[in-house]
Amino acid sequence: MINALALIAVGLTASLLATAASAQATLNSVKQKGVLTCGSNRGAPGFGAPDAQGNWSGLDVDLCRAIAAAIFDDPAKVQFVPLSAQDRFTALTSGQVDVLARNSTVTMSRDTQLGLEFPAINYFDGQGFMVRKTLGLASAKELNGKSVCTDQGTTTELNLADYFRANNLTYQPVSFANATEAKKAYEAGRCEAMTTDVSGLYAARLTLPNPDDHVILPDVISKEPLGPAVRQGDNQWADIVRWTFNAMLDAEELGVTKANVEQMKASENPEIKRLLGTEGRFGEAIGLSNDWAVRIIRHVGNYGESFERNVGEGSPLKIKRGQNALWTKGGLQYGIPVR
């Protein structure tokens, strides 16, 4: 019995070591392929969507381009893989994609039970409702007895049930395989309300024939911290994703932009020197070149620049920074210092 247990223990140890070694190979694998594969949402304007020519853009898309820039000094070395809500996590854990940047909510069960790690939160969101103005509704609590379109297999579906149960309200769920189908059903009048993340509602309203005929109710019924995901067990790869995002945040706070990053390399500000690699060897510590942040900012810009062009008030979505403002301006976005 003792020998058998010992053999089992040795076997498990070897298996775990093999798994860890395999996981740690993500950066090498990406370099060997010469391209980063990014799990994406093809139907979320402002966050992730291709145009008619197949050119991708969005806040999540920019994050993937920033990772590619940090590794290759080329933001175009990304292959975007459209994934549904149902298959996104399996595609990541199976190795089909290197990183998932697809407006995915960070939750405890996803973080602890699916073999995933969420290195950053690149958008603080919350779930809401969109209705036609003709309904004359001012609050989600007036949706009692109404039909609501939602997408299956998401926290959206669970939050919807929780909200109506908690408020002693009834509703008729109309569920679909993905948010695109839910939006089409809402547009066709198959339900009286549509629910998803507020950012998703802004994006969906933009694609409706008459956007001004629809209103997003003020109620926010959940916390939806959205962020990129990687496989557990590869600390180096998680660090690369984490610090790519932090570099974009730190750059905004320090006033380093796409336009001035080359000039800023001459700055005597210690924080800027460490960020841009003119002091210290922080890039090398995570397997990148020391100008990794310069590459990100030169090609993609800082977080504020990405936010503004994709979803901000200068974009078609016209979303206010709100919770996604820097901490210095009353928001929740707080870049970890490079030190």
| Residue 255 contacts residue 320 (beta carbons within 8 Å) | no
Please give the pLDDT value at position 296. 98
Please give the pLDDT value at position 6. 39
For the stretch 315-339, pLDDT in tens is 999 999 999 999 999 999 999 999 9
Res. 308: pLDDT tops 50:
yes
Q: Given pLDDT bands bounded at 50, 70 and 90, which one contains residue 221? A: very high
Tell me the percentage of the chain whose pLDDT exceeds 90.
Answer: 85
Please give the pLDDT value at position 320. 92
* 46-50, 153-157, 279-283, range with the lowest pLDDT: 153-157
Mean pLDDT of 201-220: 93
Separation between Cα atoms, residue 294 and residue 283, nearest integer Å = 11
Q: Given pLDDT bands bounded at 50, 70 and 90, which one contains residue 153? A: confident
Tell me the percentage of the chain whose pLDDT exceeds 70.
Answer: 93
For the stretch 5-58, pLDDT in tens is 333 333 333 333 333 444 458 999 999 999 999 999 988 889 999 999 999 999
Q: What is the pTM of this model?
A: 0.87
Please give the pLDDT value at position 24. 57
Please give the pLDDT value at position 152. 86
Mean pLDDT of 128-133: 98
Q: Which domains does the chain have, with CATH numbers?
A: 126-223 (3.40.190.10)
